[in-house]
């Protein structure tokens, strides 16, 4: 039954409907794959028993004719989503053993549509990282290998590395992710799958462990654009429990996959041609432009002049918010506590032991930029630049319907590379961070392989609330790229 | 209770600004649906948001916003249509989020002003700087265990209004009047119960001293002042302390001090150097608060008559003295009670009875006006009996005492006990004749010039009629009989 793990979600829904197999069988096949793939360390917690129970209930619902849009589909859930009765850690030691008594809105919606949870996927600690090497629960290993280097372990990207690796390796049919500065799009690119970060406010943040509240947004991973469209529809919608979630109708995103972009204009931002960009990325981008033309659409060069400030802006705002969001992990109410003689020591030792280096680094940066005397120079300045970046995009969208860029400036790299140089690591997000700052929908689609045989993705960035255009363009690139490569 | 302090080098003026924290009356907390009742078992009114569980988000409670607007309007203040919630970051176990959601640069209410009444009858205006909404913290309990502290999060997340005054207050009397007036206004508005013992209203007092006309001195903030009396005591102590330091050649350090009501002193809590850097920034979990003028207007229409308006109306329409009006408006229920008593009756008489008789007796019995055994309707009835000469003022006091113990209506007491005033002049004349006949010596003494004996004859007539004879009629007839 191994072939069940190669199906797309759309195919599986069809097979379930035709009673070719049951959700239990589908789930068991994925549990088998998950167990075999343990060396990838894609999961922090596997929940096979829960999955089988959910699958059986799903089969009963289907038998009684009341199936949801994701009825019986086994998924991975990034361990940043709080799941009732299942440990939720954000990949941090400080939350070890924390079992929420509540279900995040996104997972609740997925389960309400019939989804099955196979486990909680690994990530960078508190979603801070671009390589999934900051997890307290160990690195996630990409299922991909460089040609001729079977022993070199590569990163899956981050922060949603476990979700991306699991989807890529066929351990789950789809997965949730969160994207603060690229945490869905970059790992999707590294792992040769599709992933979308919708417009900020499309999905509720309620029950997602917060990293940077003004940037965090839930999204999806799957092996096809259409599967992402199916998943995102189930996850989206206004939530009165999240003041920043938008009162917007959720369209059937699959209907946007018309394959037709004739007459549309796709913007090519000239500032994304950064110095030192690898030739292969440049080539892939040009290939994407050619595909757009062959599909009957135009491309036009647009300017996003403040792009060069985006990373710096992001690395002020995100740590500032994180430094405050992570203050609640104080050892008082949940998670680990290091007992001490007095309160101050308890705080210091608990947080010293509970947080990893990257999290500490960002808490310190964030605390610094909010401090008296620095607030105006850093935080306020960053907010001003953020507004200019938003304006750049709005100006560009007067001339085009969506933007096409590379997703990341490189393919996956080996674990340990870039590790000693945080700035170099931060550069991974150079193409994804601007859309995050502007709250725009962005999607990565696999478009080709580099010389080492590693996947590279192209990114489509849309207007606010226009995920439909993003899906439409992504669908066209997907069909023209014919990316059928899978990890060995 | 002087406004100035007599120092060795002359007079010093006390300059005071106050920050009042008032818990908003609402069924739910500022950003969560948890209940807010006082006195519940520890940690029983705590939502996931209040406990700052991972992934929880605040959602603004519209009722609390309405209460803040109502209060702002009651303080004659500007309502800011755009305000922003900000995070004030600091660590403490009773602050689960590690930050308090407050308002910093953009509060919901801006500048306003209120009037305070001083003992000498003068009225003084005190400026309001701002009012903002914020979350309350929980409560740390340190005395249940020798080494551990306990935390009760019931109060965590309750809505507070912080009302900041301009440094317009001079001396303990004005501070007490200001605090009392704010409390009165909030109670009238129904936005805070003003209960300082339960901690639903708390004050921080900023105190400095200066030579009259000199620039402001360095101020100290005194915390934990939890009654009107404590405010006065803390100011008196703190002002003297500052004057002594300055006159001894020292200088005042800007710091936060704590009032110790047992030792009757303030002591240093933290210096300016130790002051927290709260790292305020706009809360990204909440959208800016934008108010529609329409809503503000609607709230304005539902405002009750406020204490000062009521006071002026009592003076103008009932002809009361400023003092009496002030006593009657001190509580909204008291003013309502008075107005029921006074309706279509002698208002000055009604005011006298409410203030001197009723409030006196209630006070003695430790009761509030809402617990009065004498209803306003019955007290009004008593006033009528006096006004139409059914009973005399003297008898009325006895009837009132009976009303207070039995709760009965005045008419039935007068009826039962036969206390109706005798106005039958024939009957009175008959009694007077008896008295004259029985006291020939006094009659001749009176006629011989001892005018003071007139009172003796009145007394005798009253005695024979058990006090029921109409005093005016007795006077008239007696005079006629004796002076002829």
Contact yes or no for B54 and A209 at CB 8 A: yes
CA distances from B457 to B425, B427, B461 (A): 16, 16, 6
Q: What pLDDT, on the 0 to 100 scale, is given for residue B224?
A: 84
Give the N- to C-terminal CA distance of chain B in Å, as an integer: 60
pLDDT digit string (tens) for B150-182? 999 999 999 999 999 999 999 999 999 999 999
Beta bridge partner(s), residue B134: B160
Nearest Cα of chain B lies from the Cα of A100 at a distance, in angstroms, of: 8
Q: What pLDDT, on the 0 to 100 scale, is given for residue B127?
A: 98
pLDDT digit string (tens) for A279-296? 999 999 999 999 999 999
| Per-residue pLDDT at B135 exceeds 90 | yes
Beta bridge partner(s), residue B133: B161
pLDDT digit string (tens) for A136-157? 999 999 999 999 999 999 999 9
Q: Compute the distance between CA of residue B303 and CA of residue B301 in angstroms, rounded to an integer.
A: 6
A-chain CB neighbours of B93 within 8 Å are 330, 332, 343
Residue B79 or B123, more confident: B79
Written as tens digits, the pLDDT of chain A (488 aa) is 448 999 999 999 999 999 999 999 999 999 999 999 999 999 999 999 999 999 999 999 999 999 999 999 999 999 999 999 999 999 999 999 999 999 999 999 999 999 999 999 999 999 999 999 999 999 999 999 999 999 999 999 999 999 999 999 999 999 999 999 999 999 999 999 999 999 999 999 999 999 999 999 999 999 999 999 999 999 999 999 999 999 999 999 999 999 999 999 999 999 999 888 889 999 999 999 999 999 999 999 999 999 999 999 999 999 999 999 999 999 999 999 999 999 999 999 999 999 999 999 999 999 999 999 999 999 999 999 999 999 999 999 999 999 999 999 999 999 988 777 777 778 889 999 999 999 999 999 999 999 999 999 999 999 999 999 999 999 999 999 999 999 97
Q: Is A370 on the interface with B (CB under 8 A)?
A: yes
A-chain CB neighbours of B53 within 8 Å are 82, 100, 102, 333-334
Contact yes or no for A209 and B96 at CB 8 A: no
A-chain CB neighbours of B59 within 8 Å are 240-243
390-449 in chain B: CB under 8 A from chain A: none
To the nearest whole percent, how much of chain B has pLDDT over 90? 73
Give the pLDDT mean for B303-316. 95
**Whole-number average pLDDT of chain B:** 93
Q: Is B96 on the interface with A (CB under 8 A)?
A: yes
Q: Which secondary structure element, helix H or strand E, spans residue A189, and what is its range?
A: helix A185-191
Rounded to 5 degrees, what are φ and ψ at A78?
Answer: -55, 135
Residue A265, SS3? strand
For the CA atoms of chain A, what is the radius of gyration? 21
CB atoms within 10 A of CB A255: 12
Instruction: Using pLDDT thresholds of 50, 70 and 90, give the confidence band for residue B148.
Output: confident
Q: What pLDDT, on the 0 to 100 scale, is given for residue A280?
A: 94
Q: Is A374 on the interface with B (CB under 8 A)?
A: no
Q: Are strands A402-406 and A265-269 parallel, antiparallel or unpaired?
A: parallel
Q: What pLDDT, on the 0 to 100 scale, is given for residue B2?
A: 55
Q: Which secondary structure element, helix H or strand E, spans residue A405, and what is its range?
A: strand A402-406
The structure's pTM equals 0.91
Of A424-438, B345-359, B459-473, the range with the lowest mean pLDDT is B459-473
| Per-residue pLDDT at B273 exceeds 80 | no
Q: Which secondary structure element, helix H or strand E, spans residue A367, and what is its range?
A: helix A357-370
CA distances from B289 to A225, A324, B284 (A): 38, 21, 12
Give the pLDDT mean for B451-469. 87
Q: What pLDDT, on the 0 to 100 scale, is given for residue A276?
A: 82
Contact between B266 and B222 (Cβ < 8 Å): yes
Of these ranges, A59-73, B114-128, B267-281, the one predicted with the greatest mean pLDDT is A59-73
B-chain CB neighbours of A81 within 8 Å are 55
Q: Are strands A442-449 and A194-197 parallel, antiparallel or unpaired?
A: antiparallel
- Encoding tokens for residue A76? 């991975």
Q: What pLDDT, on the 0 to 100 scale, is given for residue A356?
A: 98
Out of A208, A209, A213, closest to residue B284 by CB: A213
Query: Angle at CA B424, nearest 5°, toward B418 and B426?
Result: 130
Which of A245, A327, A350, A351 to probe by mutation at the B interface, max B CB count within 10 Å?
A327
Q: Which residues of A are catalytic?
A: 78, 159, 183
Q: What pLDDT, on the 0 to 100 scale, is given for residue A1?
A: 44
What DSSP state is assigned to residue B32? S
């Amino acid at each position: 039954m191994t072939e069940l793990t190669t199906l797309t979600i759309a195919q599986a829904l069809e097979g379930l409907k035709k009673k070719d197999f049951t959700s239990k069988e589908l789930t068991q096949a994925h549990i088998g794959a998950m167990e075999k793939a343990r060396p990838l360390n894609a999961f922090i917690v596997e929940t096979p028993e829960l999955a089988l129970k959910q699958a059986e209930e799903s089969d009963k619902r289907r038998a009684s004719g009341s199936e949801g849009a994701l009825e019986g589909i086994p998924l991975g859930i990034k361990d940043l989503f709080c799941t009732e009765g299942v440990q939720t850690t954000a990949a941090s030691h400080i939350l070890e053993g924390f079992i929420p008594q509540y279900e995040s809105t996104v997972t609740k919606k997925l389960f309400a549509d019939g989804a099955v949870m196979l486990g909680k996927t690994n990530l960078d600690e508190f979603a801070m990282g671009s390589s999934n090497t900051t997890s307290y629960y160990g690195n996630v290993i990409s299922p991909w290998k460089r040609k001729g280097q079977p022993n070199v372990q590569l990163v899956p990207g981050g922060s949603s590395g476990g979700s991306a690796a699991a989807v890529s390796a066929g351990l789950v049919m789809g997965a949730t992710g969160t994207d603060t500065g690229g945490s869905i799009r970059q790992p999707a690119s590294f792992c040769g799958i599709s992933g979308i970060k919708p417009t900020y406010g499309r999905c509720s943040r309620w029950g997602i462990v917060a990293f940077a509240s003004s940037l965090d947004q839930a999204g999806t991973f799957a092996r096809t654009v259409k599967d992402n469209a199916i998943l995102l529809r189930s996850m989206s919608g206004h939530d009165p429990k999240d003041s920043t979630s938008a009162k917007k109708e959720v369209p059937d995103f699959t209907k946007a996959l018309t394959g037709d972009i004739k007459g549309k204009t796709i913007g090519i931002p000239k500032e994304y041609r950064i110095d030192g960009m690898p030739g292969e990325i440049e080539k892939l981008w040009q290939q994407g432009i050619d595909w757009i033309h062959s599909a009957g659409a135009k491309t036009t060069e647009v300017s996003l002049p403040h792009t060069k400030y985006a990373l710096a802006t992001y690395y002020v705002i995100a740590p500032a918010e994180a430094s405050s969001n992570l203050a609640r992990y104080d050892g008082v109410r949940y998670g680990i506590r290091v007992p001490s003689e007095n309160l101050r020591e308890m705080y210091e030792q608990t947080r010293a032991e509970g947080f990893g280096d990257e999290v500490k680094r960002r808490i310190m940066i964030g605390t610094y930029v909010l401090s008296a005397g620095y607030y105006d120079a850093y935080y306020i300045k960053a907010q001003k630049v953020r507004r200019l970046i938003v304006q750049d995009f709005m100006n560009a969208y007067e001339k085009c319907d969506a933007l096409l860029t590379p997703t990341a400036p490189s393919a996956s790299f080996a674990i340990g590379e870039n590790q000693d140089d945080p700035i170099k690591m931060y550069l991974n997000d150079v193409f994804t961070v601007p859309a995050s700052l502007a709250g725009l929908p962005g999607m990565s689609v696999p478009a080709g392989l580099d010389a080492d045989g590693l996947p590279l993705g192209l990114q489509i960035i849309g207007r606010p609330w226009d995920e439909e255009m993003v899906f439409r363009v992504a669908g066209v690139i997907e069909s023209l790229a014919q990316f059928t490569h899978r990890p060995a | 209770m002087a406004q100035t302090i007599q120092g060795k080098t002359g007079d010093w003026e006390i300059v005071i600004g106050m920050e009042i924290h008032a818990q908003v009356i609402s069924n739910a907390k500022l950003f969560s649906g948890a209940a807010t009742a006082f006195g519940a078992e520890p940690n029983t009114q705590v939502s996931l948001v209040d406990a700052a569980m991972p992934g929880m988000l605040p959602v603004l409670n519209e009722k609390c916003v309405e209460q803040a607007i109502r209060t702002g309007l009651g303080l004659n203040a500007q309502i800011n249509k755009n305000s922003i919630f900000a995070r004030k970051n600091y660590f403490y176990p009773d602050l689960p989020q590690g930050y308090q959601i407050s308002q910093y640069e953009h509060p919901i209410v801006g500048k306003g002003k209120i009037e305070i009444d001083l003992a000498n009858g003068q009225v003084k205006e005190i400026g309001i700087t701002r009012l903002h909404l914020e979350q309350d913290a929980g409560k740390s309990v340190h005395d249940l265990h020798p080494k551990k502290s306990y935390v009760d999060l019931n109060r965590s997340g309750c809505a507070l209004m912080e009302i900041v005054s301009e440094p317009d207050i001079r001396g303990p009397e004005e501070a007490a009047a200001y605090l009392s007036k704010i409390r009165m206004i909030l109670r009238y508005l129904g936005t805070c119960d003003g209960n300082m013992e339960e901690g639903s209203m708390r004050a921080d007092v900023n105190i400095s001293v200066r030579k009259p006309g000199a620039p402001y001195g360095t101020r100290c903030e005194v915390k934990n002042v939890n009654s009107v009396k404590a405010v006065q005591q803390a100011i008196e102590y703190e002002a003297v302390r500052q004057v002594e330091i300055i006159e001894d050649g020292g200088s005042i350090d800007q710091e936060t001090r704590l009032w110790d009501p047992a030792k009757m002193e303030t002591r240093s809590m933290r210096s300016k150097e130790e002051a927290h850097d709260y790292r305020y920034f706009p809360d990204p979990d909440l959208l800016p608060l934008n108010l529609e003028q329409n809503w503000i207007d609607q709230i304005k229409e539902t405002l009750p008559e406020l204490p000062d308006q009521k006071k002026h109306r009592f003076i103008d329409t009932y002809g009361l003295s400023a003092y009496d009006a002030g006593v009657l408006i001190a509580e909204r229920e008291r003013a309502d009670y008075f107005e029921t008593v006074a309706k279509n009756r002698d208002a000055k008489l009604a005011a006298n009875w409410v203030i001197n008789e009723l409030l006196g007796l209630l006070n003695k019995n430790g009761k509030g006006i809402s617990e009065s055994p004498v209803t306003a309707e019955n007290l009004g009835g008593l006033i009528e009996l006096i006004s139409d000469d059914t009973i005399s003022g003297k008898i009325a006091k006895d009837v009132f005492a009976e009303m207070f113990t039995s709760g009965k209506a005045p008419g039935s007491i007068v009826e039962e006990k036969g206390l109706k005033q005798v106005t039958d002049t024939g009957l009175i004349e008959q009694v007077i004749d008896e008295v004259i006949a029985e006291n020939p010596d006094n009659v001749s003494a009176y006629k011989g010039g001892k005018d003071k004996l007139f009172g003796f004859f009145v007394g005798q007539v009253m005695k024979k009629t058990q006090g029921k004879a109409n005093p005016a009629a007795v006077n008239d007839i007696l005079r006629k009989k004796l002076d002829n």
